[in-house]
Amino acid sequence: MTTQYLSHVTLETLENYRNAATQGVLAYRSGSRRLIGAVNGALEQRVYPRTAKLAPRATEFMNEVRGNVTQIVTKSLDQTAARATTAIEFGANTAGTQVNKLAQFAAAVDSPAVANGLQTVARLTMPGAKVALAISGKVAAGAIALADAAGARPVRRAARKAAAAPRRVAKRAAQAAKAPLAKARRTGVAVKKAVKRAARG
């Protein structure tokens, strides 16, 4: 069970960092959009009304250029955020798959000596894994607060909903790995009893 718990803690840590990275992208996107909106609002409300009185044609031209630049920058911003989010999801899913494979491998080991060795390694690794989980939770919470401050709350809800599927897959994989682990333990106990009986006989 220690090996399975270690894999669970590792998956939770990966999920926290995935959330933190995703929230960072959302904060960057929303913050940049707010900055663009603030600049455009200042130009439209404070600058252009004054320049229109002196040079209406030049003001109209500058307004058109500003609109075109805003569209280009906004499109580029959205594309960059989308690519970053895709890369984050790919990396997190790949890492999670590797953790699940290792957990299933450990659970399917028939050799009691190897299984006990894996459990020992897991017990020694657990304190560091718990510390990493706690740190990742703080990082994720800070990233969520940053995204909220940047006005990304509606987008963040959609991102959290989309991320639920990979977590369900990881949970099912961890549950599926418990059955071979129990079988390996029963096999180990049976082998030990047989060895004891042979020694007595």
Say how many domains are in the chain: 1
> Length of the chain, please?
201
Q: Is residue 200 included in any domain, yes or no?
A: no
Q: List, for residues 78-101, the tens digit of each pLDDT value.
A: 999 999 989 999 998 888 888 888
pLDDT at 116 over 50: yes
Lowest mean pLDDT among 71-75, 100-104, 114-118: 114-118
pLDDT at 160 > cutoff 60: no
Domain assignment present for 41: yes
More confident residue, 44 or 151: 44
pLDDT at 170: 46
CA atoms within 13 A on the CB side of 153: 4
Domain that holds residue 106: 2-193
Asked, for residue 157, whether it belongs to a domain, the answer is yes
Share of the chain above pLDDT 90, in %: 13
CA-based nearest residue to 104, from 14, 159, 174, 21: 174
How many other CB atoms sit within 10 Å of the CB of residue 9? 19
